[in-house]
Amino acid sequence: MTAKLLDGTAVAKAIKEEVASEISRLAGRGLRPGLAAVLAGSDPASQIYVSNKVKACEQLGLYSEKIELPDTISTGELLDLVRDLNSRDEIDGILIQLPLPKQVDTPLVLNSVDPAKDVDGFHPVNIGRLTLNEPGLRACTPAGIIEMLDRYQIELKGARAVVMGRSRIVGLPIALLLLHRHATVTICHSRTVDLPAVAREADILIAAIGKLGMVDANYIKPGAVVIDVGTNRVTDRESLERFFGDDPKRRAAFEKNGSTLIGDVNPREAAEVAGYLTPVPGGVGPLTIAMLMKNTLTAMKMRRAAE
């Protein structure tokens, strides 16, 4: 068996095209969704993420503001900024790029965002609405996973789903989204007894546990759908050989960069057991920005009652 790859890049492209088309339609009525991206500090990865999000806004026709702040910013100053963004009608979505500087009270800042503008879906109000299956903004990565499963016509109703990880960013919301689609859901974590045996029960296995290549063939039911949410790096040749064998593309990337990306799943073993598998990179990752764009559009339509 060789697993069929779920192409997140293609799905993200389709979502973006749909969002751009809807934005173009609403522009005729004088409506344009707006996103404010707040970046505090000089973390290189965060700078890349925010730049990519602003670039996507430009490509799709959203209004965007990139607000760069020094790493000396205080909690009070950030709260003042969020309060101002909450009050601005042209801003439909507020993105607070994490991590924030260590002196900032991150939960307090995130919880100060107007839930109607919380395009990350992290606010307790939106998590509560998700729990009750009420309309609201959903976390981008979990929502993107559901979009991908739907577009590949993978049946969720009645499926056994196992979610490895319980963060409010991925694990908890994807478990709730699957539950609301009538899957039977088990949430696993670091204290789960005999984790491989529980994982092998899954028709749909979501790996979001943050451990490089942990999920091998022993975790996977033959024919299962395996969604790899992890982002890690292989930095030694022994691991390169173990996870990728003689894959020429991976070896070339390793030689060029001194590392190569991998998720929480052992791709070499999973490909021999799973029915479907998301690659890393090119699987779940591209969906997150696409769903951020879709969430900003949704936030605008909900706030302004636009159809």
List the catalytic residue out of 16, 92, 97, 294: 97
- What percent of the chain is predicted at pLDDT more than 70? 99
What pLDDT, on a 0 to 100 scale, did the predictor assign at position 143? 98
Tens digits of residue pLDDT in 121-131 = 999 999 999 99
Residue 307 has pLDDT above 70, yes or no: no
The topology (CATH level 3) of 30-114 is: Rossmann fold (3.40.50)
Work out the burial of residue 43: count CB atoms within 10 Å of its CB; fewer than 13 is exposed, 13-18 middle, 19 or more buried. middle
- 53 tagged catalytic: yes
Q: Which amino acid is at 236?
A: D
- Catalytic option among 16, 53, 117, 294: 53
Give the model's pLDDT for residue 89: 95
pLDDT at position 1 is 63
Domain with CATH 3.40.50.10860 in the chain: 30-114
pLDDT at site 305: 81
Mean pLDDT of 181-203: 97
What stretch of H or E contains 204?
Answer: strand 204-207
Nearest to 95 by CA among 141, 156, 30, 50: 50
Active site residue 47: no
HSE, side-chain direction, 13 A CA sphere, residue 29:
11
- What b/e sequence results for 237-252 when a residue is b if at least 16 CB atoms lie within 10 Å of its CB, and e otherwise? eebbeebbeebeebbe
pLDDT of residue 306: 65
pLDDT tens, position by position, 7-65:
999 999 999 999 999 999 999 999 999 999 999 988 888 999 999 999 999 999 999 99
Give the model confidence (pLDDT) of 244-279 as tens digits: 998 999 999 999 999 999 999 999 999 999 999 999
Condensed to tens digits (0 to 9), the pLDDT of residues 68-105 reads: 999 999 999 999 999 999 999 999 999 999 999 999 99
What is the per-residue pLDDT for 232? 94
Q: Report the chain's C-alpha Rg in angstroms.
A: 20
Instruction: Please identify which of the residues 120, 203, 228, 264 carries the catalytic annotation.
Output: 120
Residues of the chain with CATH 3.40.50.720: 140-285
The predicted structure's pLDDT at residue 43 = 85
pLDDT class of 304 with cuts at 50, 70, 90: confident
Q: Look-up: residue for tokens 């890690």?
A: 232
pLDDT in tens, 134-184: 999 999 999 999 999 999 999 999 999 999 999 999 999 999 999 999 999
Rounded mean pLDDT of 187-214?
Answer: 96
218 pLDDT more than 70: yes
Domain 140-285: CATH superfamily, name plus number: NAD(P)-binding Rossmann-like Domain (3.40.50.720)
The predicted structure's pLDDT at residue 72: 96
pLDDT for residue 271:
96
| Residue 153 among the catalytic residues | no
